Amino acid sequence: MNSVLLATFRRELLLAIRNTADVVTPLFFFLLVGLLFVLGLEPRPELLVAVGPGVVWVAALLASLLGAERLFRADFQSGALELAALSPQPLSLHVLGKLLGHWLMASLPLLLLSPLLGLMMNLPGQALSMLLLVLLLGTPVFTVLCALGAALTVSLRGGGSLLALLVLPLTIPVLIFGSRSVVQSVGGEDVTGLWALATLTMLAISLGPWAIAAALRISLE
């Protein structure tokens, strides 16, 4: 089982390295969305500090959605996904390997760039630390939800818009808890949403691969 997980993880990394545009494009999109808000609200820096955490979260979500449709598409078209489903090894291991590789190559760079976006929005030092922490907790949830939407729409032609409609409502609690935690950190208040966000992350990590595997089997049928 470990060999299946590691092989899928290594394959996902190699594919991402060969297709660097799929990695770089969400990063540019993430920075561009933040920069547009900074330019639009520059005359009012106090407003920029107030809305900055929410903007970073929305930019991270939209950047995650950008390449989600292609997560299982190539495997579905080549037949590799069907072979993985027929394999004696659990399909959830294959899914987990893809999730780990996708998060490492797509979400971790966004996480590393988020302090730069926070500085552009005049966030203080303690808020930048909180922003990194909540994004570290929240981006795995985005990855799992995007993969779930991709699994449900992998057999549909042009399923990108449907994927967004499925995923966006599910991300609302993560957006609320994540942005609220950073805003409370800016104001020096007690951070109340951090534990709720951590709980959502644990649920996504523990239950997500099995839910995605079930969605893939439904799509394959």
The pLDDT value given to residue 164: 83
The whole-number average pLDDT for the span 129-144 is 91
pLDDT in tens, 152-194: 888 877 666 788 888 889 999 999 898 888 888 877 777 777 8
How many structural domains comprise the chain? 1
Alpha helices in the chain (DSSP H): 2-18, 20-41, 45-66, 73-78, 80-86, 91-102, 108-120, 125-153, 160-167, 172-186, 194-220
The pLDDT value given to residue 163: 84
* Residue 39 in this model has a pLDDT that exceeds 70: yes
* Residue 1 in this model has a pLDDT that exceeds 60: no
Q: What is the longest distance spanned by two Cα atoms in the chain?
A: 61
Q: Identify the domain containing residue 61 by its residue range.
A: 2-220
* Residue 63 in this model has a pLDDT that exceeds 70: yes
Residue 42's pLDDT band (cuts 50, 70, 90): low
The pTM assigned to this predicted structure is 0.90
